[in-house]
């Protein structure tokens, strides 16, 4: 089935945008009688990508419109993966990011999204063999919310702090930097309902700046948001990871996965409601489209503001990564900082960019 003209695959950069005629010029079908699909690459590259087999992407948390999730969902719905001969299946995650990393390490999944680069290091410490191939945000996405009566973070001593599964490293570093004695704080798993904060079930709550603050605003609740970077803490968000062995055996599939995701990001910047609609179509339990539009808009703006001019979206700065690793070391989350270069491989991202521009795929 051809890619609809209104959603044609636009290849940006030093080459001109492909016309619909050029896009539809090549077709590639399977030997098993599967229908031919209009593609944007030559037959040899198409065949190579098909040989990579089914590619399972596990979302970090259900079908939330977060960076590294929304673009994959949209790329699938818009036919961008089909146009690059990639057989992608999207499976929803439940927020267990270390569990997702284990799936990728075991070969059960090929790609997943992690909240930050620190989690790649934590996955490595757990012997999950994954590699970060793109980091989209370069500020901490984690935040700490308190009631409006908290004027200094040391006032949390002797009180209860809620988190989703563990205390995010940037939040922990912020508390340490603020002089908080963490041993005096009771930490509990509080789930994803931020109403526990105004109900005073917890006096502080970790979250994502693109999520819980918007939910509390919608409830009309008052709160104070504490940003780690205001305390000199670095961080990241929106990290795409894969199995390094699989990627090494399937470099064009890895490159073209990132290429499709990159073009979907561009599309969703201008068509956010449309892309949120694709995510809503996948959710069988009901979907808050209005909230998820805020999630996407918040995160894509953070990506744009934290990506330097001239760098590709998704670039990795190992100097910042090392500073993030130092936070884990100081907090006792790591015994030592590992060699970072093997844990972050930018060759696939670089292969689909010239400077900051996505480029047309080359023949094998």
CATH of the domain at 206: 3.40.190.10
Which residues touch 338 (CB under 8 Å, ≥6 apart)? 121, 124, 125, 325
| pLDDT score of 234 | 93
| Interval 142-158 mean pLDDT | 96
Domain-located, residue 363: no
Please answer whether residues 107 and 314 qualify as being in contact, where contact means their C-beta atoms are separated by less than 8 angstroms.
Answer: no
Same domain, 182 and 113: no
Same domain, 148 and 289: no
- Residue 313: which of 137, 190, 156 has the closest Cα? 137
Same domain, 9 and 124: yes
Alpha-carbon span 82 to 139, nearest angstrom? 33
Same domain, 265 and 354: yes
* Structural domain of 209: 142-231
pLDDT digit string, tens, across residues 218-275: 999 999 999 999 999 999 999 999 999 999 999 999 999 999 999 999 999 999 999 9
pLDDT tops 60 at residue 32? no
Domain-located, residue 364: no
pLDDT tops 90 at residue 164? no
pLDDT tops 80 at residue 200? yes
Same domain, 37 and 128: yes
Last residue of a domain, one of 177, 208, 231: 231
Please answer whether residues 361 and 83 qualify as being in contact, where contact means their C-beta atoms are separated by less than 8 angstroms.
Answer: no
| pLDDT score of 359 | 92
Q: How many CB atoms sit inside 10 A of residue 350's CB?
A: 14
Structural domains of the chain, count: 2
Same domain, 259 and 323: yes
Same domain, 67 and 202: no
Same domain, 227 and 259: no
| Interval 274-288 mean pLDDT | 93
Alpha-carbon span 261 to 314, nearest angstrom? 11
Same domain, 9 and 151: no
Please, what is the average pLDDT of the chain? 89
Domain-located, residue 219: yes
Domain-located, residue 168: yes
Same domain, 334 and 278: yes
Last residue of a domain, one of 231, 254, 269: 231
Structure-token pair, residue 144: 């700490």
Which residues touch 285 (CB under 8 Å, ≥6 apart)? none
Same domain, 197 and 274: no
| Interval 56-69 mean pLDDT | 96
Alpha-carbon span 319 to 303, nearest angstrom? 18
Domain-located, residue 127: yes
Last residue of a domain, one of 190, 214, 231: 231
Reported as a pLDDT band with limits 50, 70 and 90, residue 12 is very low
């Amino acid at each position: 089935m051809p890619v609809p003209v209104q959603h044609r695959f636009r290849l940006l950069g030093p080459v001109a945008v492909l016309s619909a005629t050029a896009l539809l010029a090549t077709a590639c079908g399977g030997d098993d009688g599967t229908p031919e699909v209009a593609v944007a690459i030559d037959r040899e590259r198409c065949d190579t990508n098909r040989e990579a087999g089914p590619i399972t992407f596990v979302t970090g948390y259900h079908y939330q419109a977060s960076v590294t999730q929304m673009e994959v969902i949209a790329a699938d719905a818009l036919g961008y993966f089909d146009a690059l001969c990639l057989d992608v299946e999207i499976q929803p995650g439940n927020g267990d990011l270390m569990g997702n990393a284990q799936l990728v390490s075991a070969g059960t999944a090929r790609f997943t999204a992690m909240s930050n680069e620190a989690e790649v290091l934590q996955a490595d410490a757990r012997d999950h063999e994954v590699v970060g191939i793109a980091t989209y945000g370069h500020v901490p996405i984690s935040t700490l919310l308190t009631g409006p009566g908290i004027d200094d973070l040391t006032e949390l001593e002797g009180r209860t702090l809620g988190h989703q599964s563990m205390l995010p490293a940037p939040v922990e570093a912020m508390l340490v930097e603020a002089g908080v004695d963490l041993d005096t704080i009771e930490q509990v798993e509080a789930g994803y309902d931020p109403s526990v904060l105004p109900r005073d079930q917890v006096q502080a709550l970790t979250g994502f700046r693109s999520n819980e603050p918007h939910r509390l605003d919608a409830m009309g609740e008052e709160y104070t948001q504490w940003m780690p970077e205001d305390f000199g803490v670095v961080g990241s968000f929106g990290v795409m990871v894969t199995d390094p062995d699989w990627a090494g055996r399937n470099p064009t599939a890895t490159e073209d996965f990132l290429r499709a995701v990159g073009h979907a990001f561009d599309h969703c910047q201008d068509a956010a409601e449309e892309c949120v609609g694709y995510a809503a179509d996948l959710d069988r339990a009901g979907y808050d489209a209005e909230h998820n539009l805020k999630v996407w808009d918040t995160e894509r703006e953070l990506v744009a503001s934290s990506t330097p001019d001239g760098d590709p979206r998704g670039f990795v700065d190992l100097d910042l990564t090392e500073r993030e690793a130092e936070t884990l070391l100081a907090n006792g989350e790591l015994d030592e900082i590992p060699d970072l270069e093997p844990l972050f491989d930018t060759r696939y991202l670089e292969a689909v960019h010239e400077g900051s521009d996505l480029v047309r795929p080359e023949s094998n």
